[in-house]
Amino acid sequence: MGRKMMSAVSAIRKVLNSEGFGANVAGMASVFGLKAIITILSFALVTLAARAFGVEAFGVYSLLFSAAGLLGVVGMFGQQVLVMRFWSEYVAAGRADLLKGALIFSTMVCILGSALIALPFLVWSDGAYGAGIAIAATSYLVGLAIVMTSAHLVRTAVGVAIGDGYANILLSLPGVIYLGLCLLNGWAPELSTLFGVMASGAVLSVLIHLRARRQALAAAFPEYGQAHAAFDLAAWTSDCLACFRPAL
């Protein structure tokens, strides 16, 4: 019994003294803290919207917010999964040309796919709630699809904090600030403004992701800018369709 206890203590000491243990603990703590902040902001957004809007307006907000979230996932056309695989596969293989082509492919698919999904949403919401709300909510839908795709890429290339952290925080924080100001100052909130500031948060997040991606590419491939893009359209299209089906 004593020997087993000593062996267990020795094993624990080896783990605690192992190289990278402190960094791993710090990393897990930061991820946990980040998730806590995102959860708090999401809860605050819903709570403030419920208090700021009347019953009818809050119902409209909930409907459009949920629809944009669901359709945004469809609008990514599976690119959130593929960009992670493209980065890992082509960086490991040293194929800057295929990585450049794959990123161009994913960017175009995501933009065109989200636009394709957004068009009927725009027409429907315009007829139901007016042009201002429709344009703002549709902008949020497209921004959501693009920012979540870029978040998955940056998560793989750089880390969770810059990838998921900025994406989720900046999607909620502008709305929380706007609704908080409305409640503090007695302003009447507008759904079009709320979705507009949330779409602006998505744009800011994408800009941060683009900067992080550029730095990661420069670190992985110093000559990335001079590399000629290569395309494997048949394989990528097949993979895209395979990843898209579960979203339907």
pTM for the predicted model, two decimal places:
0.86
pLDDT level of residue 71 (50, 70, 90 thresholds): very high
Q: What angle do CA 11, 13, 19 make, to 5 degrees?
A: 105
Distance CA 247, CA 63 (A): 19
Side-chain-side CA neighbours of residue 82 (13 Å): 24
Residues 218-245: what's their mean pLDDT? 92
Q: Is the pLDDT of residue 9 over 70?
A: no
pLDDT-derived band at 247 (thresholds 50, 70, 90) equals: low
pLDDT in tens, 78-89: 999 999 999 999
Q: Give the span between the Cα atoms of 58 and 31, in whole angstroms.
A: 32
Q: What is the mean pLDDT of residues 209-216?
A: 96
Taking residues 13-26, report their average pLDDT. 48
Whole-angstrom distance, CA of residue 191 vs CA of residue 212: 32
Q: What angle do CA 188, 192, 198 make, to 5 degrees?
A: 105
